[in-house]
Amino acid sequence: MKPEPNSQPLKAKTASSPAVHLQTIGPEEAGQRLDNYLLRWAKGVPKSHVYRIIRSGEVRVNKKRAEPTTRLIEGDVVRLPPVRLAEPAQIAAVNTAQTKSRARGYSDKMPILYEDDALLIVNKPTGLAVHGGSGIALGVIETLRITRPELNFLELVHRLDRDTSGVLLLAKKRSALVEMHRQIREGQTDKRYFLLAHGEVEQGAGVMQLKFPLHKYLLPNGERRVRVDPNGLPSHTALRVIKTMKRADATITLAEAQLKTGRTHQIRVHLQKLGHAILGDDKYGFEDLDKQIKSKRLYLHAHLAGFTHPRTGEKMRIESPLPAEFTMMMSHFESLVDKTSATKELND
């Protein structure tokens, strides 16, 4: 028999009395990913441990195993295993002067592109994870919660890889988060990226529609990777070549990728499959070529996010300029072909 619904905030157990706890999701918790829900519950617990108890099946949703990305709905019953949670004093100790100073430094490198009472949209720099994890104390979300303590609610709407820069959306209201997640699920958002790829990408007459099934797996050390696999999940990227550039020892291509689906590492794996890996990709790229042309970063930048404002219904188009590292890299190459204007719309 299920316990009565309880939408009250979870109360941390003392460190001396860990026990199994069943929590029924109320309207305020509905719409969250399971991992985000647990990270807020398990204050003071290492994030690596939170993900470990999900993968091991110790955390269950309606008595079934679940993925970190599982969306919780009102009425779901979540089994929370025995975990020693930090006392309030321990949590407060984490926000030391050193941590706050580091957060301010990160915040200074993360310009705000748009903000109102529902949304906060930032220009994420390369090298900064969107959230902390194993070996990472501060990500975007932790940085903003420390530097913007007046915000009672702040959650990531979506994610970007650590080494990808650009437009990142966060919600300041639960209702805004739920609505933005609905738009993403139903394909009502427009997410576009600029990238630099090795070699000359042959586009042909129109926009390339890349549709490779992707399978996610773990390396022996627990690192997440993705490969093209006939049994994988469907994925779709629309790729448009902007210009091809060449010098004596190398050729590179500037292109725009539009996400039609949002699989993990989707653009990176699609370009690898084409034989034109993204410059500076340490997971799916060409290490020798990157050394040859002295790649300084992953050359993938989320330059545009289009969506409907969750409160006003206004059509929004938030853009981030091409990073200086892109223009600097391209300055060492001579333009062979300029395919089209960078503002041209991609085909559906």
Model confidence band, residue 83 (pLDDT cutoffs 50, 70, 90): confident
Return phi, psi of residue 58, to 5°.
-70, -30
Sequence-distant (6+) residues with CB within 8 A of 205 are none
Residues 162 and 289 in one domain: no
Q: What does the alpha-carbon distance between residue 336 and residue 88 come to, in Å, rounded to a whole number?
A: 61
Mean pLDDT estimate for the chain: 86
Strands 214-218 and 119-124, how do they pair? Answer: unpaired
39: confidence class by pLDDT, cuts 50, 70, 90? confident
Domain total of the chain: 3
Same domain, 164 and 221: no
Per the listing, tokens 């790729």 go with 239
For the question of residue 76 being annotated catalytic, the response is no
243 and 313 assigned to the same domain: yes
Full domain range(s) for residue 266: 188-338
Taking only the tens place, the pLDDT of each residue in 302-336 is: 999 999 999 999 999 999 999 999 999 999 998 77
Q: Is residue 275 part of a domain?
A: yes
In this prediction, residue 339 has a pLDDT band, given cuts at 50, 70 and 90, of low
What's the pLDDT score for residue 342?
A: 43
* 3 assigned to some structural domain: no
209-267 residue pLDDT tens? 999 999 999 888 778 899 999 999 999 999 999 999 999 999 999 999 999 999 999 99
294/327 Cα distance (integer angstroms): 14
> Cα dihedral sign for 250, 252, 335, 331?
negative
Token pair 């903000």 is found at 115
Q: How far apart are CA 109 and CA 104, in angstroms?
A: 9
170 near 141, Cβ under 8 Å? yes
Domain identity same for 210 and 241: yes
Nearest residue to 310 via CA among 183, 162, 168: 183
244 and 273, same domain (yes or no) = yes
Residue 337's pLDDT is 63
Q: Is 31 left (phi over 0), alpha (psi -120 to 50) or beta?
A: left
CB 235 within 8 A of CB 212: yes
The DSSP result for 194-218, as a single string, is: EEEEES-----SS-EEE---EEEEE
Measure the CA–CA gap between 176 and 256, rounded to whole angstroms: 28
Return d(Cα 148, Cα 257) in angstroms, integer: 33
Report if residue 209 sits inside a domain. yes
**Same-domain status, 35 and 101:** no
Q: Select which of 35, 76, 161, 281 is catalytic.
A: 161
8 Å CB contact between 146 and 99: yes
Of 82-86, 122-126, 281-285, 339-343, least confident by mean pLDDT is 339-343
The answer to whether the CB of 224 falls within 8 A of the CB of 48 is no
Same domain, 325 and 295: yes
Q: Identify any residues that bridge with 231 across adjacent strands, giving them in sequence order.
A: none
> What is the tens place of the pLDDT at every residue in 158-167?
999 999 999 9
221 lies in some domain: yes
The mean pLDDT of 49-76, rounded to a whole number, is 89
